[in-house]
Structure 1
């Protein structure tokens, strides 16, 4: 690639000689030329600027001087298949990003016109665009510099390092910040492994390359969520695996069914004001667990008898119940909302798309257990001193299946319950619900037996699964 830079301060660009760009130029990998704009000013003072027409502060760079300079370096009659780009650094241009750098790295030649003062006469880019030259006015950020030279150096560094043979190790490009993954780079470390009482993650020393890759990916996601949520909002969902989605969900982002990008969500403790919305959510999610094996009339009876606003108000007020919800913070398009219901995000109440509850097996002062807790199956054997909790509910709206919310809800509610003393969890899920069983196994549960469970008057057969603290999550 050939790069030409036109400037009134040619020495400014000498900084490139100190970098990999300079080495690439010495090797011939890159053909770099710097030109003095004043060589094309023919008056005694080598004038390159004049006052702005219409008045105003500052000075504007003259089009006749720029035209002569650019005519010398631009190949206006170049073959159509040869791509040359005139780049004008300016704070009023489109934002220069890694994607821009990748695109420009595919050009045959670049000419960077470094303006000063109030900029270059607007007719200059207009003229060359009309002559068939590709013109890009680019900004490296929302701030103003004294001139385009610093921005030109930034752009040349970003573009040149993508060219074959410029970097010593091409693999350095694979996982860096702003790469194709759309994430910031994960934290990096070197020896010594302990420095000033700070230690690196032991996973990095384990030699387990799969675990290292997963840890780094999670760290990259966490760093991007914290520093650049705008990048998270633009992630391509097609490139996110199950672990990515689960990590994102724990940090407030989920990918709805059919959506190309994550949307913001919040997992929080339920309150009394969530009762109505929770009952609505329960009514549309409970059938997912057993609709193919329990008759609809029995499901409907169970929902209207048990999953009512009063139950959720009681749970929200009972300190023996850990109840958390997933709340959508931006409306979903109606095409992604649950079929047959009002589009999520259209109601006046909280837009709940998931909930989970753990009920502790502890009697109150009157000797009563929490409302709605199921009798513990005989196959769930507790050890001395263990506090037992039933993972009573983990449901998400059908629009959010595969979004990562299920493991995020489970992790949140079980951590809360463990903080309240629960060290043995159990749950029941229908024997035919293989999707749920796989999700619970990934969360560290194992099968302990079976039970018979009554749903609206019809018996259902459940798999019973348990997990002790320290296992799984």
Structure 2
């Protein structure tokens, strides 16, 4: 990823040479350039601000230097990276009047190949700069929170760290990104390390027993309790009711086939439309019943309505591998963390001799791939088990 930052205080960005972000720069994972806005002011005093039209306190940053600086960023970026002649960055302008910067936005921006940041000062940047830039590149105005800073540099430091740490290879152990605060709308659960007892305070017993299903359930409950206590505004309806814990779970039988057929069609409709080649959305009842017999299929209902399902089994071709399939959540409940909960539960069902997990998804199924990669899965080289798909695997962590 390439990052460009324009500021009148380029030295303010020096912390980006430290810690994991600095290491990512040295390792070539992050190409970051800082530009001094005053280099694009042409008077003797390198002036970048002037008094506001209409009167009022403070100064406003002039449009001319900003236009030249952003033109320079685009030109230099294209030549430095041998980019296409029409390549442009997404321009981020921090400001208290912008949309709130969230973990979701950090994930979106982490998928961009090129970002530029404009650090405003004083009373802000002349509004015409936003209009001018918007005609040349995507522009997003983002706010760290409901307060005012002296300039955009502090916000850029925070945003760059939040974005860059999501890039592959920046965090040494990708599994440390799983279930972090805000990753699925909930705050992170409490964490503990050795010794098991310190200052008369013991680590919760459930974490010492090695029962992964019990641990996953405890952690989910803790996340809900912590979010309810500290940030109740974050609780989505599904999480507020305890997620899967509030639904009736059981092993599927052939009698569940009609409902499973309907849920499959609903969940696979976007995939079918995207690829036009998958048959799962059109499976007949007999095929669904066969799947129930061939897999350990679990269903979750509420008030008799089927809301979620998954299926697992030992992989028929790979020894000590646990095959996970058909993680399905009713469309109107998607996006609330239930998919991640289903995946954790599917892993917890694996026998002790299992050494790795395996699953398959569409090569262009962005949402699925994001979920699985965040959970520590890696795409295997080549085409997956079915045309247009990829296989993903994850090594089981010894406990």
TM-score over 0.5 for the alignment? yes
Shift, 1:245, TM fit: 9.6
Equivalents in 2 of 1:19, 1:33: separation in Å? 17
Equivalent residue for 2:31? 31
Equivalent residue for 1:161? 165
Q: Give yes or no for contact 2:74–2:88 (8 Å, CA) kept in 1.
A: no
**Structure 2 residue ranges without an equivalent (≥5):** 250-301, 306-399
Q: Give yes or no for contact 2:185–2:236 (8 Å, CA) kept in 1.
A: no
CA distance change for structure 1 residues 91 and 235 in 2, over 3 Å: closer, same or farther?
A: farther
Equivalent residue for 1:212? 215
**TM-score, normalized by length of structure 1?**
0.49
Deviation string, structure 1 residues 36-84 (Cα, Å, up to 9, x no partner) = 1111111111111111111111110110011111110025997599562
Moved over 4 A (4+): 75-83, 234-239, 243-246
Equivalent residue for 2:199? 196
Equivalent residue for 1:54? 54
Of 96, 100, 119, the match for 1:95: 100
Shift, 1:19, TM fit: 2.0
Shift, 1:196, TM fit: 2.0
Equivalent residue for 2:235? 232
Deviation string, structure 1 residues 419-455 (Cα, Å, up to 9, x no partner) = xxxxxxxxxxxxxxxxxxxxxxxxxxxxxxxxxxxxx
Equivalent residue for 2:139? 135
Count of aligned positions: 248
CA distance change for structure 1 residues 64 and 137 in 2, over 3 Å: closer, same or farther?
A: same
Equivalent residue for 1:9? 9
Shift, 1:108, TM fit: 1.1
CA distance change for structure 1 residues 241 and 108 in 2, over 3 Å: closer, same or farther?
A: same
Q: Give yes or no for contact 1:85–1:109 (8 Å, CA) kept in 2.
A: yes
Equivalents in 2 of 1:402, 1:219: separation in Å? 28
> Aligned-residue CA RMSD in angstroms?
2.6
Shift, 1:233, TM fit: 3.4
CA distance change for structure 1 residues 240 and 127 in 2, over 3 Å: closer, same or farther?
A: same
CA distance change for structure 1 residues 29 and 238 in 2, over 3 Å: closer, same or farther?
A: farther
Deviation string, structure 1 residues 217-250 (Cα, Å, up to 9, x no partner) = 110111111111111136579993134899xxxx
Equivalent residue for 1:117? 122
CA distance change for structure 1 residues 81 and 44 in 2, over 3 Å: closer, same or farther?
A: closer
Equivalents in 1 of 2:21, 2:106: separation in Å? 15
CA distance change for structure 1 residues 82 and 173 in 2, over 3 Å: closer, same or farther?
A: farther
Equivalents in 2 of 1:83, 1:232: separation in Å? 37
Equivalent residue for 1:177? 181
1:74 aligns to what SS in structure 2? Answer: helix
Q: Give yes or no for contact 2:221–2:242 (8 Å, CA) kept in 1.
A: no
Shift, 1:104, TM fit: 0.6
CA distance change for structure 1 residues 32 and 120 in 2, over 3 Å: closer, same or farther?
A: same
CA distance change for structure 1 residues 74 and 190 in 2, over 3 Å: closer, same or farther?
A: same
Equivalents in 2 of 1:142, 1:245: separation in Å? 41
2:72 aligns to what SS in structure 1? Answer: helix
Equivalent residue for 2:74? 74
Equivalents in 2 of 1:402, 1:142: separation in Å? 44
Equivalents in 2 of 1:4, 1:222: separation in Å? 40
**Structure 1 residue ranges without an equivalent (≥5):** 247-399, 404-473
Equivalents in 1 of 2:67, 2:19: separation in Å? 31
Deviation string, structure 1 residues 130-151 (Cα, Å, up to 9, x no partner) = 23x1000100100000000000
**TM-score, normalized by length of structure 2?**
0.58
1:217 aligns to what SS in structure 2? Answer: helix
Shift, 1:199, TM fit: 1.5
